[in-house]
Amino acid sequence: MMFFLVLVILASCTAAPTDLTGKMFTFPQATDTARVKLLTLKNDFKAVTVCLRSFTDLRRDHTLFSLSTPSSHNDFLIFKDATNNDVELCTRDAEVDFNLDYKLSSWSSVCGTWDAASGLGQLWMDGKPSVKKFISSNSNIRGTPIILLGQEQDSHGGGFDPNQSFVGMMSDVHMWDYVLSSCEIRKYVDELNFTPGNVLNWKELDFQIVDRVLIEDKQKTCSDQLSAAHKHRQSPDMDFKMEFFVLMMLPACAAGLQDLSGKMFIFPQKTNKAHVRLTASKQDFSSVTVCHRSFTDLRRDHILFSLSTSSNSNDLLIFWDDKNKEIEPHIRDQKVEYGGQEYKLNMWHSVCTTWDSSSGLVQVWIDGQPSVRKYSSSGSSISGSTIIILGQEQDSHGGGFDINQSFVGMMSDVHMWDYVLSSCEIQKYVDELNFTPGNVLNWKALDFQIVDRVLIEEKQSSCH
Ligand SMILES: *[C@@H]1O[C@H](CO)[C@@H](O)[C@H](O)[C@H]1NC(C)=O
Ligand SMILES: *[C@@H]1O[C@H](CO)[C@@H](O)[C@H](O)[C@H]1NC(C)=O
């Protein structure tokens, strides 16, 4: 984190190009200020290609790439129009709409091309071409450009609307002053060797960050990481030590702890009393991962995990908001909303939530699928005496239960760690393979108390 910060400061002071290979910009919240300004010395374009990769869950309008000149605010703009559910390409202030398959909560490669001679523009979504449409012809994009990620310009370098801001992750931004061939676009999409942008090049990027935009390592899927680790023949020493440590710890403090492997809690009715209180093995968390599996048919708001401290009743809370169809983690009483998730009723879901106080970023993994990384709260830890409850939501420390937010259904495999799990560890949890159990809450050695009607039963496995 520190290292990246230094890089960013250097880049903004000296405008020395930075190699951002393997990195991404994270835009963690909706604002009308946070942006990245991309710098180029070119100022006359008779043709353009822009390619980028983005990951968002925004169901509203948002900008992907905004280039203005003094004469034209939308001189080259790629914009998601949520009302009409299409993607707009603007050049020289003229706009056309493309009806494209733009998926939420997954990485998409977007390339836009235009040339002044024919006036034709085209968008490529994950390597699939749109029709070519006429936008504007006969005049170049000319004049000092201001190129922004994160905000859409309604004036040259300004006029930002928070309702059009980008929230999510963005990577691999390139711009060329010519139209790429379909083969070159295919190579870009497949992350093969392609000719990097001659106007903007992700491997030598001149940029300035304004407000809260983070540079982070691009999250790899677990299989990518495993093959990379295999290539480098990394030693598994670390893992061995970890497991050994856990093995040593268990017998020492085994009194009163139950191994719930293969078991589940059943919350069989709607009440404002029934709950399970979990005792954590430690307090004070500057970062955290909570994973659990749950099964419900509730078509109303409900709680999944509630941790309060004496200072914050929602210090770490995971909540389903049924009206907005959102998973809502709360950290230090700050709520983050994730819509459009695959949270179906009447089936088991694995939900893992991570947060760390240095970046303040939250992420939710549902059945192993990562969300956007969003900002909740940074700078201070979750500290003080904690009360952790399953089944009820705490509106005060250890109480304030609302029957209409109670959980009804089954819950299993609850673990909590005082660090952020890697995508590989999360995948292992989801797949029920060998993973390092929680060092704060461990389903295999759980310290808990049941209040009112909650049952422990064998987890049902389906009959094959
Ligand atoms: C943004 O959208 C919200 C909700 O639709 C609205 O209340 C608010 O006025 C909008 N803000 C601006 C600056 O347009
Ligand atoms: C719970 O919801 C029901 C039905 O919507 C409502 O009648 C009742 O007042 C609610 N109870 C509380 C405690 O909010």
Q: Which domains does the chain have, with CATH numbers?
A: 2-217 (2.60.120.200), 256-458 (2.60.120.200)
pLDDT score at 460: 80
Helix axes 423-430, 222-232, angle to 10 degrees: 120
Q: Whose CA is nearest to atom 2 of ligand 1?
A: 163
Dihedral angle sign, alpha carbons of residues 441, 447, 448, 454: positive
Dihedral angle sign, alpha carbons of residues 143, 145, 151, 152: positive
Q: Which atom of ligand 1 is nearest to the CA of 32?
A: 13
Q: For residues 380 and 238, which has the higher predicted lDDT (pLDDT)?
A: 380
404: Cβ below 6 Å to ligand 2? yes
What is the tens place of the pLDDT at every residue in 316-366? 999 999 999 999 999 999 999 998 888 999 999 999 999 999 999 999 999
- DSSP H or E run through 200: none
Distance of alpha carbon 176 from alpha carbon 222, whole angstroms? 32
Work out the average pLDDT over 2-15.
44
Distance of alpha carbon 150 from alpha carbon 112, whole angstroms? 17
300: Cβ below 6 Å to ligand 2? no
Q: Which atom of ligand 1 is nearest to the CA of 163?
A: 1
- DSSP H or E run through 223: helix 222-232
Q: Is 427 helix (H, G, I), strand (E, B) or coil?
A: helix
Spacing, Cα 404 to ligand 2 middle (Å): 6
Q: Is 61 helix (H, G, I), strand (E, B) or coil?
A: coil
* Ligand nearest the Cα atom of residue 161: 1
**DSSP code at position 218:** P
Task: Count the Cβ atoms, other than its own, within 10 Å of residue 331.
Answer: 26
pLDDT exceeds cutoff 60 at 115: yes
Gyration radius of the chain over CA positions: 25
pLDDT exceeds cutoff 80 at 266: yes
Q: Of 207, 140, 197, nearest to 173 (Cα)?
A: 197
What is the tens place of the pLDDT at every residue in 77-103? 999 999 999 999 999 999 999 999 899
pLDDT exceeds cutoff 70 at 184: yes
Residues 6 or more apart whose CB falls under 8 angstroms from that of 427 comprise 221, 222, 368
Spacing, Cα 107 to ligand 1 middle (Å): 27
Distance of alpha carbon 274 from alpha carbon 403, whole angstroms? 10
pLDDT exceeds cutoff 90 at 9: no
From 403, 406, 408, mutation site for ligand 2 pocket: most ligand atoms within 8 A of C-beta? 403
Is the distance from CB of 361 to CB of 214 less than 8 angstroms?
yes
* DSSP code string of 81-150: ETTTTEEEEEETTEEEEE-----SSS-EEEEEEEETTT-EEEEEETTEE---EE---SS-EES--EEEES
How much is the pTM? 0.85
* Cα-based distances in Å from 59 to 96, 158, 205, 322: 20, 23, 29, 16
Work out the average pLDDT over 243-263.
59
